[in-house]
Chain A
Amino acid sequence: MFKQQDEQIQQKMVSVTLDGEPRELPAGVSVAAGLFSIGEIISRISPSSGKPCSPHCLMGVCFECLMEIDGIQQQACVVEVQEGLVINRGSLGKKE
């Protein structure tokens, strides 16, 4: 859905654990933006409708990017990517 166009951005990639799998995300951006950059557009399965959600506002309002980061339910758009983060998108990961 999104692609990296800005070649001047020197992105340092760091390793994180996403739904139990080792993945690389660009350091220093929000987790939500980082996931978009690697093509992971689904942030969670809505507990009320059972349907997949993707982040809507990316400014801390909508809570559609709520996911478990280092054991705590947090808004992925306000948490910065750091080496070693453990990210779980709940039922999304378990299904696979």
Chain B
Amino acid sequence: MSRCYDVIVVGAGPAGLTAGACLAEMGVKALVLDEQHQPGGQIYRRVETASPATLKVMGPDYDRGLELAERFHKSGVEYEGGAIVWNVTADGSIAYSRQGKSQEIQGRYIIIATGAMERPFPLPGWTLPGVMGAGAANNLAKEAGLVPAGEVVLAGSGPLLLLEASILLKKGVNITAILETTEKIPSAQTFKYLPAAIRRTDFLLKGLNMLREIKSSGVVYHKGVGEIKAQGDSRLESVEAMVDGKTQTFPADLLLLHFGVIPNTHIFRLAGCAMRWHQEQRYWYPQTDDWGRTNCERIFAAGDGSGVSGALAAEYKGELCALEAARCLGIIPDYERDSLAKPLQEAINHDRWPRPFIDAMYAPKLDGSHFADDTVLCRCENIMVGDVRRAVSEGVREVNEMKIVTRCGMGPCQGRMCGPAVAEVIAAELRQSPERVGLLNIRPPLKPVPLEEVAEMELDEASQVQADLFKNMKK
């Protein structure tokens, strides 16, 4: 018989850690599965083993991870690191691979807290060695204390790009240029949200401080940049960009890209959760109720995977999911859930004040028509933007059809890297919203797993029911 849990939490970032700890504290039998080998997720990656120097550079926001990890361990919740979840079904079963073995387990409820990812943004030369996500460089620093050597260019938009720049400056990294695609003057629309943001002056000051640090460092910092290209033969040598109407070239050994953060939704789509389109931020997220429950009764979405709102909100959202799951399990009554949830909901609201302003200021100015024909769109299968455009001109109207016709999204990453952009390109060609051109269908395995491992799995009797091939003839 397969193992059974009251709740299985997938992911051990702020949302997963909080959900798991909260459940265990209430006496719920819970298991936390984590792809990483240590709790923390991406934002608090390796926080428990971080050196004093790393803790100092990453600042007090990173320290928060220590508190979460401490609560997590104290709660006694079961934790399995290095666990690759490769199937989730709406009826509560999860298949995962760990230490070369796959197994299927059951949860009465599942809280998916798989977080967010950097928005993949195809630009010429982005497949060259030496081009990577800004988050990747951040991870290398947290995980292995590695710092970029040589000349570094940062490009893209969003507060996290500037945050990474300020961290690198503190470490004495040689930044050749920061190329921000955000407009020099924010749109009038942005200021509509300013009054709400002013309620959180602490938050705004933190941002202003960061900007001041960057400006006072004297590093080349351009805004309103366009047509960014990574150049080089077998690896990155320079970055070209349109600055103030003129093409400029910056020497670079490393180009760090960041175009905002979007929910990592493959796992929700695999489970069959209904998805919603966020028009301003241009991403898909699972539809949930106030507690984080998706349209699948047993599946909850917590943290940035349910819509990007940052690490603190992720904690609160994780705890709300845990409270509702505990109520459903009969551990706490309605009124207790509600009274425990109240401060969390207030904290979420408090945290939310500055967000519309920041979101509007760094809103993705995505236009699928801006991608150049000879840019690689699907990295796995080496499909160009032009290939996708040609397929549209031949009558393809939807992303899954595009995948079949061009192989775009058919490689090992299963469309994680090209999915958002291919929808933008098709939508721009058809002069429609990306919402209308669909989402790639996701099927198990969510991540590649050896067939041998699947064959060796111990299965329940229920999973072993033989297909009745003669069903129709018996009638």
Contact = CB atoms under 8 A, between A and B. Distances in A.
Contacts of B136: 55-59
A60 B136 CA distance: 10
Most chain A CB neighbours (cut-off 10 Å) among B82, B136, B411? B136
Contact of A66 (B84, B147, B382, B412): B412
Interface string B399-427: 00000000000011100110000000000
Given A2-B147, A26-B144, A56 B82 contact: no
Interface stretch (A13-21, A43-51, A83-91): A43-51
Nearest to B172: A5
Contact of B413 (A3, A9, A26, A62): A62
B171 interface: yes
Interface in A1-59: 1-9, 26, 28-30, 33-34, 36-37, 41-42, 46, 48-49, 51-59
Contacts of B127: 46, 49, 51, 53
Nearest to B266: A61
A58 B130 CA distance: 13
Contacts of B338: none
B46 to A, nearest CB: 9
A9 B150 contact: no
Given A34-B144, A48-B380, A61 B412 contact: no
A37 B450 contact: no
B149 A48 contact: no
B35 A78 contact: yes
B145 A56 contact: no
Among the interface residues A2, A26, A72, A75, which one has the most CB atoms of the partner chain B within 10 A? Answer: A2
A36 B254 CA distance: 13
A48 B407 CA distance: 11
Contacts of A56: 131-133, 136, 379, 417
A75 B136 CA distance: 14
A33 B382 contact: no
Nearest to B139: A58
A28 B120 CA distance: 28
B51 interface: yes
B145 A54 contact: no
Contacts of A8: 51-53
B267 to A, nearest CB: 12
A36 B118 contact: no
A4 B146 contact: yes
Given A53-B129, A57-B133, A33 B82 contact: no
Contact of A5 (B171, B254, B380, B382): B171
Contact of B42 (A36, A37, A59, A70): A59
Contacts of A59: 42, 117, 135-136, 139
Interface string B18-42: 0000000000000000011100001
B54 A6 contact: yes
Contacts of B148: 1-3
Q: Which of B52, B150, B379, B450 has the most CB of A within 10 A?
A: B379
Given A6-B54, A56-B133, A78-B35, A62 B417 contact: yes
Contacts of A4: 144-147
A12 to B, nearest CB: 12
Contacts of A51: 127, 234
B264 to A, nearest CB: 7
A13 B447 CA distance: 29
B117 A37 contact: no
Given A57-B132, A80-B82, 19 more contacts: A1-B148, A2-B147, A5-B171, A6-B53, A6-B54, A8-B52, A29-B143, A33-B140, A36-B146, A46-B382, A55-B132, A56-B379, A57-B118, A57-B135, A57-B136, A60-B35, A62-B120, A63-B380, A78-B84
Which 10 pairs across A and B sit closest by C-beta, in order of nearness? A6-B145, A54-B129, A48-B382, A58-B136, A8-B51, A63-B413, A49-B382, A5-B147, A2-B146, A33-B144
30 contacts: A2-B148, A3-B149, A4-B145, A8-B52, A9-B144, A29-B144, A30-B144, A33-B143, A33-B144, A36-B140, A52-B129, A53-B379, A54-B129, A55-B136, A57-B117, A58-B140, A59-B139, A61-B413, A62-B120, A62-B413, A62-B416, A62-B417, A63-B380, A63-B412, A64-B379, A70-B100, A72-B100, A73-B448, A79-B82, A80-B37
Interface of B: 35-37, 42, 49, 51-54, 82, 84, 100, 117-118, 120, 127, 129-133, 135-136, 139-140, 143-150, 171, 234-235, 253-254, 264, 376, 379-382, 411-413, 416-417, 447-448, 450
